[in-house]
Structure 1
Amino acid sequence: MAGFQSPVSINEAMQKIKSREYLIPAFQREYVWGPEQVARLFDSLMRGYPISSMLFWEVKDESKKSWKFYDFLQHFRPVHKVHNQHFETAGHKDFYAILDGQQRLTSLYLGLFGRYDIHKRNKKWTNEDKNFTSNYLYFNLTQSRPTQLSDVKYEFLWLERDKTQPMFVDEHGQKWFRCGAVYDFKNLDEALDFAIEQGLNKEERKRLLDFFTLIFNTPDQSKINFYLETDQNPEKAVNIFIRINSGGTALGYADILFSVAIANWKEIDARTEIHDLVDQIKNNKGFENASKDLILKGFLFLFHNDIRYQIKSFGSGFIQAVEQKWKAIKVAFLETFELLKSFGLSGETLGAYNLALPLVYYIYHQNLSDHIVHSIGQQDNRASMKTWVLRAIVFKPLGASSDTTLSNMRRAFIKEFDAQSGVYFDQANMPFPQKAIETEGKYHQNVDSEFLENNVLFVRSKDPKTFALLALLYPNLDYSHKFHKDHLHPQSAYAKYQKLSEQGDFKPFEIYDSLVNLQMLDEHENKSKNDKPLERWVNENCGQNREGFLQRHLIPNVDLSLENFGGFIEDRRKLLEDKFMEILNK
């Protein structure tokens, strides 16, 4: 029955860990406590301080087979021995998964049954014994000198000593008892006999017996209290876990899902592979905000009926199917971002990274990873993809209800997605369905002057959307070369314009720095233009066909002097409005 259960002694909890009645769920973090934290925990318990309540989840039936669970650590080494060992729970007795309390229970278990390696100063961090000390937790029974840790009453330290000896005397005559040796005593009388044999004085003897009592006959205030959740819905368990851990380092639902998902891979090191893919997208493709969340969402968009983040969606059967296809999935993601890069896009200008998913879907399921970026036969698909993604950046369809919109977008490929069918398109050899995605995504709209005025014409030069708008205006540019957003009337001339306009019509910098005063130039052209006045730059570069030059650069055929900036802006605004009416209403 759910609710607070009868508290247990420290020994009872340790025995349940040993018998695997307590296990760690896949979505838990790795162990992170430092050696001093463990020592302070034991000090607090000896002082009679209560240990905060814990939260356990009773796992039975199908939940045992659907998710991965792990043993507690018995040997910790920073960086190298931090991963818990998987324990196969199918056929195992019912057990408790630790939702809150893992760090404290692991610390107790390491202190009583394990060891804790500490890195040696000035040594390498490679996984070699010579770089670490291997330590057991000891309790200072004498404590005749100041403690190494501040603010502790009882001194516990991790020390590199011979495990076969239950106690040693240091150079100051202090007697140190190895905490795990408390299990050598069957009862309090045996502990007392040991104390007498070792010649412990009254205070030392009291400390040893108090420690024995703490472990085996834990006082009520130091017992382990826990709330038991019995609902077998893992979604509830995860949501509880997120809620109770919200006070520490942010741990979102996607982080939990990532842990669950990678835990169910059998042959491939999923954590390394997914992180490598994300790093390649960031570093090699230039999309620095890529994350594992995108890859997880991609799994669902490619293969699952329901693309919402849910624990049940990442069951072992689904994830094992993904693992079998991983190499092809990884290549499809990389080629998608290579394609986006060839469109001139970057992490800064793409905006919503989930816009990549319809492209990944098409490239993967049409088996186009080897062809989509450069093949002549894919020119039409590339053009449709480019137009679609640029328009999507402008229309911003992926808002708060992005899962609904993404699901609707997938209907452009297949109206009724059924993961079991193995069918991913309503027609064979379907061209990339640009218009259908907009229609199914329910964001296609008839663009009017009001929309352009509010969302297009006066976006600033550094707005992420500006690149997409300029790319739509200049669709034939080869982005294997670098292109820059260029101010037609140079940005550096604004101060001069202010002085010229003191007595007349004046446009604020928000207008001067907006799309109506921007164009796209090859980086070499841009360097050549530099801070030249617009009128001079046009005269020097238009040659014999001034009108054609102006049309190519979408510059109105009017007085281009800085003094006429107000008139120029009005004419270019009208020119761009007509152009965008044509482009965005196709």
Structure 2
Amino acid sequence: MMVDVFSRPKKFLHQEWWTMKKNSAGRINTEVELISNLITGINKGEIKIPKFQRPFVWKDDQALNLLDSVANNYPVGSLLLWRTKEKLLVERNIGEFNLPATDDMEPTDYVLDGQQRLTVIYSCLGAKETDAGFAVVYDLEAEKFLRLPDSLKLCQFPLRKMFNTTQLLNFRAAIQTDPKGAVLQERLDTLIGAFSDYRLPVVTLKNLSVEEVCPIFERINSSGTKLSTYDLMVAATWNKDFDLNDEVDEIRQALEPKGFGDIDRETVLKCLSAVQLGTIKEQSLMSLRSLRKDEIKRLINTTKEALLRTVDLLSTEFKIYSWEFLSYEAIAVILCYVYARINHLSPNQVHLTRQWFWRAAFGERYKVGGENFVSNDLKNVYSFIIDGLGSAADFGKPPTAKEWLSIAFRSNVSRSRAYILALAARHPRNLTNGAYIDPAIALSAYNKKQFHHIYPRAHLRRIGEKTNDNLVINICMIAAAGNNFISDSDPKVYLTKCQADLAGKADDVFSTNLLPKPSEFDYSSANYNEFLNARAQLVSEFVDQLCEGNYGGM
């Protein structure tokens, strides 16, 4: 028997309900609807599935349990509809089969929550008996629901006959020929009565704006699917001549040859808003809907060109060859805003861009603050880079040598990403043979084989050092072959061997990796803490240089 698989704690639902009611007072209608009325609404085009909803994902047992719950008059949850004159991009099918073509209705009820349940109901009870897709029978002898078998027994009632009077009468007449006809007839009547009388609670949001519906969907949607602003923009701007997905894909395809084709669609939308409106605030994003087709086409082209110049700068100046190594999405959005207004940066403007970039990354400027903070920084950063207004110190300060001693390495954390880029800025050479490491390979995607703990974690565990084994300053960039060579070796052994093999080049090679020079530091006798203190000072000094816009040697 089915308990609502989408149920939530009562306290949580109560809080969500009153939040929604407070924000949308007077525009919420709650009623109960017969299953047959819902099916009629779908067939007439009055109820539609928006394109942003996820596809049908229920398994057979979930669908069969739903039908069993209806047959037993158990609650199966409510439907949430949005009644609006907005014309959204919609799915032309429910489940595995197409809906009949219908004229646009004024208004339309779009399904925001309960799509999976409604899909099962329509598929099993609303579709034609000859349609493809998920179909179910009720075995009157076994008294259970089954997926439609290849060959039917006389006692198996196809649910798609339920609301078709002629087919239902024909089935009723046929089972009378069965020796248990009277019992089967009684069970059939009970089944039909249960489905004919069953009413689903339906909550209808009336004439709310797209902006109002988005947070309500996120609170109420029991599937856990997050409705993004991008999803709503795609649905709300769509018409037969324009699909925002196609336009965004044009930008992504343009970035593909440069290795940035996997840019998030939300990021592209923010870039469009920054370029056009000078803000990425969510309530402002929606105003892009008011642009004419020719205006949005120009915006797409401008943003595409600005993003191309952005990724060129990221790769040439900061050795960023994929989005994985960009500390913050905000950096790309802000650079796109700058490049939409100026095609070329002077040497001094590039110098100022370096100062902002490194300070924002190492100072974790965009870790908190959200869209309002980034929106304000669009103009602040532009004024700093283009006009030289303000101070670089306004954008953050790098960690001190002491702070580096406690910063853990996490590949998805801004300071760790910035640290890797700082290593790349030193043009590192492989410790094992002195060959230059190609940052385009090492940084094209996060690859553990291109990085190594200088004091291997397994070695540190062997000597009882566990608390600080994964510090950022214990990480070094190294080619895959060198990685295998080091493995979990004692650094007193392998670093001394590297020093000997490199001979007179050892100081230069170690220095490119921000490691203490062997002529000044005895790797054969130093312990882990001595190494950390020495390296923290070197890293701190170099990062300070980066934050001043300088890439000089040490």
TM-score (norm 2): 0.67
- Cα 1:97–1:565, aligned 2, differ >3 Å: closer, same or farther? same
Determine the structure 2 residue equivalent to 1:5. Answer: 30
Answer yes or no: is the 8 Å Cα contact 1:40–1:156 preserved in 2: no
Determine the structure 2 residue equivalent to 1:396. Answer: 364
- Cα 1:199–1:323, aligned 2, differ >3 Å: closer, same or farther? farther
For residue 30 of structure 1, give the secondary structure of its aligned residue in structure 2.
coil
- 1:103 equivalenced with 2:123 (yes/no): no
- Cα 1:223–1:559, aligned 2, differ >3 Å: closer, same or farther? closer
- 1:54 equivalenced with 2:2 (yes/no): no
> Which of 136, 139, 145 pairs up with 1:155?
145
Distance in 2 between the 1:75 and 1:547 partners? 64
Determine the structure 2 residue equivalent to 1:251. Answer: 225
Answer yes or no: is the 8 Å Cα contact 1:22–1:96 preserved in 2: yes
Distance in 2 between the 1:333 and 1:8 partners? 50
Determine the structure 1 residue equivalent to 2:93. Answer: 73
Deviation at 1:223, TM superposition (A): 0.9
Alignment map for 1:453-472 (pairs within 5 Å): 453-456=401-404, 459=407, 463-470=416-423
Deviation at 1:397, TM superposition (A): 0.7
> Which of 330, 333, 341 pairs up with 1:354?
330
Distance in 1 between the 2:354 and 2:207 partners? 48
Determine the structure 1 residue equivalent to 2:547. Answer: 584
Distance in 1 between the 2:186 and 2:37 partners? 23
Determine the structure 2 residue equivalent to 1:182. Answer: 163
Distance in 2 between the 1:550 and 1:154 partners? 75
Deviation at 1:53, TM superposition (A): 2.4
Answer yes or no: is the 8 Å Cα contact 2:48–2:109 preserved in 1: yes
- 1:561 equivalenced with 2:522 (yes/no): yes
> Which of 126, 132, 135 pairs up with 1:134?
132
Answer yes or no: is the 8 Å Cα contact 1:452–1:577 preserved in 2: yes
TM-score (norm 1): 0.64
Determine the structure 1 residue equivalent to 2:431. Answer: none
Determine the structure 2 residue equivalent to 1:309. Answer: 282
> Which of 363, 373, 380 pairs up with 2:339?
363
For residue 54 of structure 2, give the secondary structure of its aligned residue in structure 1.
coil
Identity of aligned residues (%): 17
**5+ residue gaps in structure 2?**
1-25, 411-415, 429-435, 444-448, 487-493, 550-554
- Cα 1:524–1:487, aligned 2, differ >3 Å: closer, same or farther? closer
Distance in 1 between the 2:469 and 2:519 partners? 18
Distance in 1 between the 2:117 and 2:338 partners? 48
- 1:206 equivalenced with 2:186 (yes/no): yes
Answer yes or no: is the 8 Å Cα contact 2:354–2:547 preserved in 1: no
Deviation at 1:411, TM superposition (A): 0.6
Distance in 1 between the 2:405 and 2:388 partners? 23
Aligned CA RMSD, in angstroms, stands at: 5.3
Q: Which amino acid aligns with 2:113?
A: D
Q: Which amino acid aligns with 1:353?
A: E
| Bigger mean CA offset, 553-562 vs 199-208 | 553-562
- Cα 1:98–1:489, aligned 2, differ >3 Å: closer, same or farther? closer
Deviation at 1:398, TM superposition (A): 0.3
* Residues 492-533 of structure 1, C-alpha deviations (whole Å, 9 max, x = no match): 79979x99xx9xxxx999499764x88878999999997445
Deviation at 1:207, TM superposition (A): 4.0
Work out the number of aligned pairs and report it. Answer: 491
For residue 82 of structure 2, give the secondary structure of its aligned residue in structure 1.
strand
For residue 49 of structure 1, give the secondary structure of its aligned residue in structure 2.
coil
Bigger CA radius of gyration = 1
Determine the structure 2 residue equivalent to 1:337. Answer: 311
Determine the structure 2 residue equivalent to 1:150. Answer: none
**5+ residue gaps in structure 1?**
118-132, 147-152, 161-169, 369-376, 416-430
- Cα 1:452–1:537, aligned 2, differ >3 Å: closer, same or farther? farther
Q: Which amino acid aligns with 1:134?
A: A
Answer yes or no: is the 8 Å Cα contact 1:137–1:158 preserved in 2: yes
Answer yes or no: is the 8 Å Cα contact 2:442–2:450 preserved in 1: no
- Cα 1:381–1:480, aligned 2, differ >3 Å: closer, same or farther? farther
